[in-house]
Structure 1
Amino acid sequence: MAGKVVLVTGASRGIGAAVARRLASEGDTLALVGLEPDELKKVAEDCGPDAGWWEADVTDLESLRAAVEGVRERYGRIDVVVANAGIAAPGFTRSMDPAVWERVLDVDLYGVWRTVHLTLPHLIESKGYLLLVSSLAAVVHIPGLASYNTAKAGVEAMGNSLRAELRHLGVRVGVAHMTFVDTDMVRGVDDHPVFGKVRTGIPFASRVYPLELAVEKFTAGIRKRSRVVHVPGWIGPMKIFRALIPHLVELGSRRSVAKADRAALADIEARGADVSSRASGAGGLADTAKAKGARG
């Protein structure tokens, strides 16, 4: 599949940027979509003279529509779409800023839906490949990330539905599940004074995997038009035991959550709910600024 036009959302940094660079090095033409123009420009420069970038917010349908139309106008086609844009905001549901809780769904779930909605006509035309970026969070619902868990479970369900809906049209659909990977977003979660400790104390979530592993798995999945991408591979077998996993999470976290709940309330008292539960990492800060600007 090398030599394709690949549109990647959330391409300013993290997995999106790293996968874009790898695909470009193997001969693909990259169309990069994201919020941070300076970062997008840097990634595009790394991806070669044919790469292009478009500043767009996946929560803004018209902004995203303009980007998709710009990609099609420049390259004449779209062969692969990686719906990768996402944020994570740590916090317990009862105490975190409701606007932030909803923003995670708007970016991570509805942003994927908007990307699918606008790019599907082009993928049907090219009989292309659509990769929706979900997460291990769709399977293992750790406390303190309820909004993220909800969004990523929805992305998985969307991918499973689309796979059946689009097969007869020649479009293949993949869903990517990865655990914690060494990105700016994950480092931001770990830097949180309360929720960094919650993550490291829960089985299945304590280890952070290298970014290069995700790049290898994503690239291989795109080349093979795979129905699933697992980073690392043990996530696949784990899905068989979905019914048991919530019980294990509850058992493993029943002592730590009570302590963390008190600490979260104290952190909110000290820093405010908007700061304590805002999206993590530099990309999360960019999204927070965009959301505040949209609200005026």
Structure 2
Amino acid sequence: MPLDGRVAVVTGAARGLGAATARALDARGARVALLGLEPERLARTAATLQHDAAWWEADVTDDAGMARTAAQVAARMGPASVVVANAGIAEGGPFADSEPDAWRRVIEVNLIGSAITARSFLPALLATGGHFLQITSLAAMGTSPLMSAYCASKAGAESFAHALRAELAHEGVGVAIAYINWIDTDMTRDADQYAVLRELRAHMPPPARKTYPAEQVAARLVTAIEHRRASVYVPGWLRAVQPVRAFLPPIVTRVARRELPRLARSAPFEATGMLGAGGQADRNARPQQ
């Protein structure tokens, strides 16, 4: 059990994949630091873990706050050997009608928040020869209409992780990328409440529509961490998308040109705002303009 006794940090750990990953790390012997915006949920999850665990209320887009949190994690638990940059939010709808603040916030959390997470915990990872796992998505490889902020943020996070991997290779720090499709989370369930997003998913090939339990995905992620793999694909067939990803944008454009007018006639396109309970928690944690 290579994670036995190691300190592992998970952002976005209050619910969904983050909470499931914290539980999976704990099951492999890790001591988990849970970071997120929902104190009650973080505390409940931490209380269910078998090994030494602690939680911190933290906003991944706050440079100073994350630096303080990293110092507190080190003082309380020791230097982190694993960091999972999982915190993420989404909004949907036509770009022209999107709320500028919501669109920008998706980029801030999913991309800039990942970079701040890496910067905050990098001294610990350098000391331990640790492993940084960046959570991305199929959206990093093949974009989707009406999800411009989410796709841009995940593509950016993938590129950031590639650059960081090359930069840290000689330092003995592993940097990995997780490509994940639909997970049974609040975010996905909320997206399915909007007819246009539900229809867009229905137009994906059958394997790409399937939703996977968060616990199953988390188990795959932790196995990849144990083996220090540079990438992990859930489901596994996503690996086959890599060699042909350059062909995806023209295909998506062709389908969208045909299907979006039909969808617009049956249900008007509208901005969704932040999707899921996690998105609402992020909105509630910030002062409203």
Q: Shorter-chain TM-score category?
A: over 0.9
Aligned positions of 1:112-131 closer than 5 A: 112-131=114-133
2:50 maps to which residue?
48
CA contact (8 A) 1:198 1:260 kept: no
Of 73, 82, 85, 2:87 maps to 85
Residue identity in the other structure for 1:142? S
2:269 matched to 1:229?
no
Of 127, 137, 140, 2:139 maps to 137
1:210 maps to which residue?
213
2:3 matched to 1:2?
yes
1:244 maps to which residue?
247
Q: 2-side partners of 1:87 and 1:191: how far apart?
A: 16
Q: 2-side partners of 1:251 and 1:234: how far apart?
A: 23
Q: CA deviation at 1:277?
A: 2.5
Q: 1-side partners of 2:199 and 2:100: how far apart?
A: 23
CA offset digits 1:249-277 (Å, max 9, x no partner): 1222322222445677x464xxxxxxx42
Q: CA deviation at 1:73?
A: 0.8
2:284 maps to which residue?
289
Q: 1-side partners of 2:196 and 2:216: how far apart?
A: 28
Q: 2-side partners of 1:62 and 1:263: how far apart?
A: 47
2:35 matched to 1:22?
no
Percent sequence identity over matched residues?
A: 39
When structure 1 is superposed on structure 2, of 225-234 and 253-262 the one drifting more is 253-262
1:187 maps to which residue?
189
Residue identity in the other structure for 2:3? A
2:166 matched to 1:164?
yes
When structure 1 is superposed on structure 2, of 29-38 and 185-194 the one drifting more is 185-194
Of 248, 258, 266, 1:255 maps to 258
CA contact (8 A) 1:82 1:133 kept: yes
CA change 1:213–1:252 in 2 (3 A) is farther
Of 36, 39, 45, 1:37 maps to 39
2:62 maps to which residue?
60
Q: 1-side partners of 2:177 and 2:186: how far apart?
A: 22
Q: 2-side partners of 1:221 and 1:105: how far apart?
A: 26
Q: 1-side partners of 2:214 and 2:105: how far apart?
A: 25
Q: TM-score, length-normalised on structure 2?
A: 0.94
Q: TM-score, length-normalised on structure 1?
A: 0.92
CA contact (8 A) 2:29 2:51 kept: no
2:148 maps to which residue?
146
The 3-state SS of whatever aligns with 1:234 is helix
The 3-state SS of whatever aligns with 1:165 is helix
Stretches of structure 2 lacking an aligned partner (at least 5 in a row): none
The 3-state SS of whatever aligns with 2:274 is coil
CA offset digits 1:189-241 (Å, max 9, x no partner): 11124322222223364222222331221011110111001001111111100
Residue identity in the other structure for 1:280? L
The 3-state SS of whatever aligns with 1:229 is strand
Q: CA deviation at 1:171?
A: 0.2
Number of matched residues? 286
CA contact (8 A) 1:200 1:207 kept: no
The 3-state SS of whatever aligns with 1:242 is helix
